[in-house]
Structure 1
Amino acid sequence: MSPAPPEQRQLLHRRNLAIEVFERADGLFDVEARLSDVKTRDMQLATGLRQAGAPIHDMGLRLTIDRALNVKAADSFTSSMPYPGRCDALEGVYGQLVGLNLLQGFRAGLKAKLAGVQGCTHLTELAGVLPTAVIQAFAGYILDTREGSGDDQPPYQIDRCHALRRDGAVVQTYYPRWYRPSPASA
């Protein structure tokens, strides 16, 4: 457990990320992601004063994906930004995500296509969290996460994080069929 925060502190900034995954009637899925940055004090930007509570950034992405997590369509929007007419001048740029797969090389492809001045720092960072959010949405629905599902493939989550390593206690306890002791402990 982390230590309690100091009693005397003041909130300066809040960044919210919201990601929602929708199943469409045509069998595809829409992934909608939104980022907002809000200051608790008035902020003098190069383009003028932004009042406390008014977003500095309010922007988002929408990806359409298939069951295999291939990006079929992608777009972005920017509602609030520090440089109107510039920050929102990315029409179609995030369409470059089409053809990428959220499970296979997505973050490398994202970086190659949209890092730095090729895209928006905030939108590109937001896109980077989409693979794990979609995996959560698909877990137990599209991706098989059950033990003993009858095939020769382990549940999706095995060997995808520290807790679910094949030679660890969680796999030994909850997924014993897929447990393999490490060579050091054998």
Structure 2
Amino acid sequence: MPLSTPAPRKPSHTRRVTYQGYERDDGLWDIEAELHDSKAFDAPSLRDVGMRPAGAPIHHMWLRVTVGRDMVVRTVEAAMDTVPLHDCPQARAALQQMVGCSMARGWRQSIQHHMGGVASCTHLRELLFNLATAAFQTLPAAFTPADAEAPPRHLGQCTGWDFHGNGVKLYYPKFYRGHPGEAAAAPSSATAKS
């Protein structure tokens, strides 16, 4: 269902972000991201003398992260074809600190620790944050914990996969915890029948 009709307006800024996941022949997985920022009007260029035409990129960058079935980063590569400032490409060096980090737990903290502030680039950090979600969607094994008695990692992480909700009840009944108050209601209805 679409959004409601907006108030009168004119376009200003467009950010396009795309993630794609690939299974490699060597058993590893590549997750790639692309970010493209542009304005809907001609604007002064910070990097060069002159104007940047409407639709021309302010930022256009790519990121490739290679992981194994364990969701641990093996390699990271970035390309920054269009950036607003001459020093921006220096931010790529900090990406190598992410090699060995796990996307399964503590991913955002690792990004902030290794690439926070002026150590790297806001846009590369943003791409990395959500790259983990794309990795989980790409790797079938990502949803299966090593311990068969442990719930899959995605349970309890959103409304749809609430341990008390219908999604868990239907697809993972072993881990369903019932609706809050459900256990208390059952004995009183049984008592009423006696």
Same fold (TM over 0.5): yes
How many Å separate the matches in 2 of 1:174 and 1:91? 41
Which segments of 5 or more consecutive residues in structure 1 lack a partner in the other structure? 146-150
Counterpart of 2:27, as a letter, is G
SS of the aligned residue for 1:171 comes to helix
**TM superposition shift of 1:63:** 0.8
How many Å separate the matches in 2 of 1:25 and 1:174? 31
**TM superposition shift of 1:39:** 0.8
How many Å separate the matches in 2 of 1:91 and 1:76? 6
Normalised TM-score (structure 2): 0.82
Counterpart of 2:46, as a letter, is A
Asked if 1 retains the 8 angstrom alpha-carbon contact of 2:164 and 2:180, the reply is: no
Give the structure 2 partner of residue 166 of structure 1: 163
Give the structure 2 partner of residue 177 of structure 1: 174
How many Å separate the matches in 1 of 2:182 and 2:24? 48
- Structure 1 stretches of at least 4 aligned residues deviating more than 4 Å after TM superposition: none
SS of the aligned residue for 2:59 comes to strand
Give the structure 2 partner of residue 55 of structure 1: 57
Give the structure 2 partner of residue 142 of structure 1: 141
Counterpart of 1:117, as a letter, is V
Asked if 2 retains the 8 angstrom alpha-carbon contact of 1:21 and 1:31, the reply is: yes
How many Å separate the matches in 2 of 1:144 and 1:107? 19
Give the structure 2 partner of residue 20 of structure 1: 20
Residues matched between the structures, number: 178
Alignment of 1:99-178 (within 5 A): 99-138=100-139, 141-144=140-143, 151-178=148-175
More helix by share: 2
Asked if 2 retains the 8 angstrom alpha-carbon contact of 1:163 and 1:170, the reply is: yes
**TM superposition shift of 1:155:** 4.1
Which segments of 5 or more consecutive residues in structure 2 lack a partner in the other structure? 184-194
**TM superposition shift of 1:129:** 0.7
Counterpart of 2:158, as a letter, is C
Asked if 1 retains the 8 angstrom alpha-carbon contact of 2:88 and 2:121, the reply is: yes
SS of the aligned residue for 2:124 comes to helix
Alignment of 1:80 onto 2:77: no
Counterpart of 2:64, as a letter, is R
Normalised TM-score (structure 1): 0.85
Cα deviations across residues 48-104 of structure 1 (Å, max 9, x unaligned)? 321111100001211111011000111211001111x31112343211110100011
**TM superposition shift of 1:106:** 1.2
SS of the aligned residue for 2:110 comes to helix
Give the structure 1 partner of residue 67 of structure 2: 65
Distance 1:165 1:45, change over 3 A: same
Distance 1:113 1:144, change over 3 A: closer
How many Å separate the matches in 1 of 2:152 and 2:110? 26
SS of the aligned residue for 2:69 comes to coil
How many Å separate the matches in 2 of 1:2 and 1:20? 25
Identity level (%): 35
SS of the aligned residue for 2:18 comes to strand
Counterpart of 1:136, as a letter, is Q
CA RMSD of aligned residues (A): 2.1
Which protein shows a greater Rg? 2
Distance 1:121 1:42, change over 3 A: same
